[in-house]
């Protein structure tokens, strides 16, 4: 029987339980144990990917949790937490392409043994294997050919962002840096916070790939700000692989992501004066201060490299729904959020299922209106850029 599962496959670890930093700077609360508790108990996720398991510190923590019985190995790969959430072991690895651009790629494997072997192998290329997202001092082509020997799922990360992404700074086409055979080894494409499937489906070579949306969380609060609905028969690494490859009736059923205008790299930004573009720029300089210190936004980069003026969605492409996390709702602070969680248990229940009267009772009419307008996609947004998130500026349901 096919079921639907909420999946966030890009979550970082800040610190090991032994007090060793893995990703700097992040919260000390961002441990493997803390991530599991937050994702399962408060966010309501069914599948998560921790992308710093290449670090021996993180692997040691995962192994300890299996010995404690909090994580149970699954026959098809992965680890079950509290009998309801699947943990997938992943690594985010930085590559350097021939033109000098840096890109991040996610590599997922089925178990601790495989990740440990992958970690040992990659340590000959990575200077500090204990830290997150380290430069592997190799191009993506080499990483793909190495990782494919470890029963892995290989997914280019946040592919359009202006910092450390394939299309953002490395190339205009994957086919410029990978052979057809190597492109066939990619399991999916991660869109990133400032892009959606309408933007990505303007590039013809992406038509065959499944798109996934993930949080890229650097704190507990950011978990599940984006996620994918995967249709699978049970929770396992193998089932997830089949969903990404769209085989045996498994598939990605939907993407829930930020409206790209909320993303912090959506529009071109001037680092000199803080100007954020709201229209196409005719010159390669800032119209406010004449500086050439422009960071190309995702919207503008896609316009530059797109094959089509409008998206060409393949038949397999699922719906993309704009998800506005609770942290973006004006006036919704920690106290009100805790009240909502006390009432509805998880953020998934609040964002997807609670009705207006239930929300009003728990958080007041104004917050309820904002949540419902966010769910309906009718909330007005000021676009983000240059590392600054967009924001909700008006609730059109307000009277």
Res. 78: pLDDT tops 90: yes
Tell me how many domains the chain contains: 2
Could you tell me the pTM of the whole model?
0.91
Residues 252 and 271 in one domain: no
**Cα separations in angstroms, 19 against 9, 15, 61, 129:** 24, 6, 11, 16
Residues 216 and 280 in one domain: no
Per-residue pLDDT tens over the stretch 291-350: 888 888 899 999 999 999 999 999 999 999 887 778 888 888 889 989 999 999 988 899
Q: Which pLDDT belongs to residue 117?
A: 98
Measured in whole angstroms, the distance separating CA 215 from the mean position of its chain's CA atoms is 4
Q: How confident is the model at residue 396 (pLDDT cuts 50, 70, 90)?
A: very low
Q: Which pLDDT belongs to residue 136?
A: 97
Residues 10 and 128 in one domain: yes
Within-domain flag for 368: yes
Q: Which pLDDT belongs to residue 263?
A: 75
Residues 160 and 25 in one domain: yes
Instruction: List, in order, residues 6 or more apart from 132 with CB less than 8 Å away.
Output: 12, 13, 22, 23, 51, 52, 55, 92
Residues 228 and 118 in one domain: yes
Domain boundary among the residues 258, 280, 313 is at 258
Within-domain flag for 177: yes
Q: Residue 390: which domain range?
A: 261-302+329-394
Res. 199: pLDDT tops 70: yes
Answer for the pair 211, 255: CB distance below 8 angstroms, yes or no. yes
Within-domain flag for 320: no
Measured in whole angstroms, the distance separating CA 159 from the mean position of its chain's CA atoms is 11
Q: Which pLDDT belongs to residue 326?
A: 83
Residues 44 and 128 in one domain: yes
Res. 163: pLDDT tops 90: no
Residues 192 and 63 in one domain: yes
Give the C-alpha separation, 167 to 327, whole Å.
29
Q: Which pLDDT belongs to residue 394?
A: 53
Within-domain flag for 52: yes
Share above pLDDT 70 across residues of the chain, in percent, rounded to a whole number: 96
State the CB neighbour count (10 A cutoff) for residue 280.
9
Within-domain flag for 143: yes
> Minimal CA–CA distance to 90: which of 235, 245, 240, 225?
240
Residues 80 and 179 in one domain: yes
Within-domain flag for 399: no
Residue 291 pairs in a beta bridge with none
Domain boundary among the residues 204, 228, 258 is at 258
């Amino acid at each position: 029987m096919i079921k639907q599962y909420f999946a966030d496959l890009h979550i970082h670890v800040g610190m090991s339980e032994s007090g060793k930093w893995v990703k700097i700077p992040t919260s000390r609360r961002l441990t493997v144990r803390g991530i599991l508790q937050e994702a399962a108990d408060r966010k309501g996720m069914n599948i998560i990917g921790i992308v710093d398991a290449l670090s021996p510190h993180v692997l040691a923590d995962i192994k300890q949790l299996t010995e404690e019985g909090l994580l149970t190995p699954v026959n098809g790969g992965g680890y079950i937490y509290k009998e309801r959430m699947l943990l997938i072991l992943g690594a985010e690895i930085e590559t350097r392409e021939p033109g000098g651009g840096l890109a991040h790629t996610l590599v997922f494997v089925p178990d601790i043994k495989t990740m440990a072997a992958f970690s040992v192998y990659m340590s000959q290329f990575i200077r500090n294997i204990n830290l997150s997202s380290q430069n592997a001092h190799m191009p993506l082509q080499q990483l793909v050919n190495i990782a494919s020997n470890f029963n892995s799922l290989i997914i280019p990360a946040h592919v359009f962002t202006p910092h450390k992404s394939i299309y953002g700074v490395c190339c205009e086409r994957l086919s410029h840096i990978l052979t057809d055979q190597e492109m066939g080894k990619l399991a999916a494409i991660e869109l990133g916070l400032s892009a959606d499937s309408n933007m990505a489906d303007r590039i013809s070579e992406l038509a065959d790939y499944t798109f996934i949306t993930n949080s890229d969380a650097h704190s507990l609060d950011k978990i599940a700000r984006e996620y994918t609905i995967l249709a699978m028969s049970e929770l396992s690494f193998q089932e997830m692989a089949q969903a990404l490859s769209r085989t045996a009736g498994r598939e990605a059923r939907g993407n829930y992501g930020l409206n790209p205008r909320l993303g912090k790299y959506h529009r071109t930004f001037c680092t000199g004066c803080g100007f954020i573009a709201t229209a196409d720029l005719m010159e390669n300089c800032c119209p406010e201060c004449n500086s050439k210190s422009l960071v190309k936004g995702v919207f503008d980069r896609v316009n530059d490299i797109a094959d089509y003026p409008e998206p060409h969605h393949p038949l397999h492409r699922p719906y993309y729904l704009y998800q506005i996390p609770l942290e973006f709702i004006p006036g919704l602070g920690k106290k009100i959020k805790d009240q909502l969680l006390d009432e509805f248990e998880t953020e998934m229940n609040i964002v997807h299922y609670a009705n207006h009267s239930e929300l009003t009772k728990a958080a007041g009419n104004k917050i309820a209106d904002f949540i419902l307008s966010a769910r309906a996609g009718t909330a007005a947004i000021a676009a983000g850029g240059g590392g600054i998130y967009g924001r909700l500026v008006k609730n059109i349901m307000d009277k």
